[in-house]
């Protein structure tokens, strides 16, 4: 029977068979196990074939080719890891306060989505907090030239929850963002009954403790799938391939063709159209600064 992998924890593969309401726990067929050890992991969102033995136990026999892969940071030259499969949009969640907005982290998550060929939406959560509106507005201004929609949300006032629900409906989305910004809380608000675990943001560090520990796929009331992920703290240490990086900034792409030199890295080259756009205020200087920092391996 065909189904979708929801999560895998410690060698147990939780599969929602097509048409079923409740998932089953399965193990892997020996051959697949070899492949998993070889580095090809099964991840949330994978489409699988599972069979039931006479004793009732389920085994995953086959994994289908993926239509998309969300890649996580290849850390310091290591191979990029696949975090989720067959997703069709990335939702990058930031909180305007508690933890404080990290614009560079937002840029990094957006770049990860771009390099995974996923369209992205940005969520500015916790706008109920005093001063939150101002921070949300600055984030919107920063991203104005990128084309990414920014949705303001609050699980306290309910602002933006219907809009977010609308964007998630009927699609398979992956929720990304730093720990403690409210990813699981938002999903609970969008789809009451999910009851994902949420956690207090630690006062001392303003975040950093992971309440969600592994990527898992959940179904939403009204249709749609979402992969809830733990905050990828290691995205901060991501060194993307500098040659690919400009592709990860949509507002650069339309200008890159006008640079004087082909293969322009948009750093110190003369006649760079991207830098000219930054100087003209058409491309946000903060976004450009993120680009420069991300392209430099430390």
Q: How many CA atoms lie within 13 A of 107 on its CB side?
A: 25
Cβ distance 233 to 179 under 8 Å?
A: yes
Phi and psi at residue 135, in whole multiples of 5°?
-65, -40
Phi and psi at residue 4, in whole multiples of 5°?
-120, 135
Cβ distance 179 to 105 under 8 Å?
A: no
83 binds ligand GTP (CB under 6 A): no
Give pairs for 264-273: CB < 8 Å, separation 24+.
265/295, 266/291, 267/292, 267/295
Q: Which is nearer to Mg ion, 68 or 184 (CB)?
A: 184
DSSP code at position 172:
E
Q: Which residues pair with 172 in a beta bridge?
A: 225
Q: Which is nearer to ligand GTP, 48 or 155 (CB)?
A: 155
Question: What is the x/- site pattern for ligand GTP, positions 166-205, by CB under 6 A?
Answer: -----------x-xxxxxxx------------xxxx----
Q: What is the CA radius of gyration of the chain?
A: 20
Question: What is the x/- site pattern for ligand GTP, positions 235-264, by CB under 6 A?
Answer: ------------------------------
Site for Mg ion in 185-224 (CB under 5 A): 211-212
Cα–Cα distance measured from residue 56 to residue 219, given in angstroms and rounded to the nearest whole number: 25
Q: Give the one residue of 41, 81, 210, 247 binding ligand GTP; rule: CB under 6 A.
A: 210
For residue 190, count other CB atoms closer than 10 A to its CB: 23
Residue nearest to ligand GTP (CB): 182
Q: Which residues bind Zn ion (CB under 5 A)?
A: 259, 264, 266, 272, 274
Q: Give the one residue of 8, 86, 212, 290 binding ligand GTP; rule: CB under 6 A.
A: 212
Pair of tokens at residue 230: 């733990």
Q: Which is nearer to ligand GTP, 175 or 256 (CB)?
A: 175
Supply the minimum distance, in Å, between the C-beta of residue 183 and Mg ion: 5
Within its chain, how far is the Cα of 60 from the centroid?
Answer: 26
Cβ distance 227 to 174 under 8 Å?
A: yes
Q: Which is nearer to Zn ion, 31 or 268 (CB)?
A: 268
Q: Give the one residue of 95, 125, 172, 184 binding Mg ion; rule: CB under 5 A.
A: 184
Supply the minimum distance, in Å, between the C-beta of residue 156 and ligand GTP: 5
Supply the minimum distance, in Å, between the C-beta of residue 283 and Zn ion: 11
- Binding residues for Mg ion (CB under 5 A): 183-184, 211-212
Give the footprint of ligand GTP on this chain (CB under 6 A): 125-126, 128-129, 154-156, 177, 179-185, 198-201, 210-212, 230-231
């Amino acid at each position: 029977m065909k189904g979708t992998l929801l999560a895998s924890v410690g060698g147990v593969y939780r599969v929602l068979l097509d048409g079923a309401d409740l998932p089953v726990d399965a193990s892997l067929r020996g051959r697949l196990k070899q492949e998993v050890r070889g580095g090809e992991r099964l991840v949330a969102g994978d489409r699988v074939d599972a069979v039931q033995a006479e004793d009732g136990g389920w085994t995953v026999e086959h994994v289908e080719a993926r239509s998309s892969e969300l890649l996580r940071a290849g850390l310091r030259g290591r191979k990029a890891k696949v975090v989720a499969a067959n997703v069709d949009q990335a939702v990058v969640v930031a909180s305007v306060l508690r933890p404080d907005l990290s614009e560079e982290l937002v840029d990094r998550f957006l770049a990860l989505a771009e390099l995974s060929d996923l369209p992205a939406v940005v969520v500015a959560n916790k706008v109920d907090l005093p001063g939150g509106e101002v921070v949300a507005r600055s984030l919107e201004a920063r991203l104005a030239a990128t084309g990414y929609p920014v949705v303001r949300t609050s699980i306290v006032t309910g602002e933006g929850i219907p809009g977010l629900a609308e964007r998630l409906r009927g699609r398979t989305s992956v929720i990304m963002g730093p720990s403690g910004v409210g990813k699981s809380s938002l999903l609970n608000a969008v789809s009451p009954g999910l009851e994902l675990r949420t956690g207090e943001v630690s006062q001392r560090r303003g975040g950093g403790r992971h309440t969600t520990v592994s990527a898992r796929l959940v179904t939403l009331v009204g249709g749609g799938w979402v992969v809830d992920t733990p905050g990828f703290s290691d995205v901060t240490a991501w060194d993307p391939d500098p040659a690919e990086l400009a592709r990860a900034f949509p507002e650069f792409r339309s200008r890159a063709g006008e640079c004087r030199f082909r293969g322009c890295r948009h750093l110190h080259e003369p006649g760079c159209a991207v830098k000219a756009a930054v100087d003209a205020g058409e491309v946000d200087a903060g976004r450009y600064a993120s680009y420069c920092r991300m392209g430099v391996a430390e």
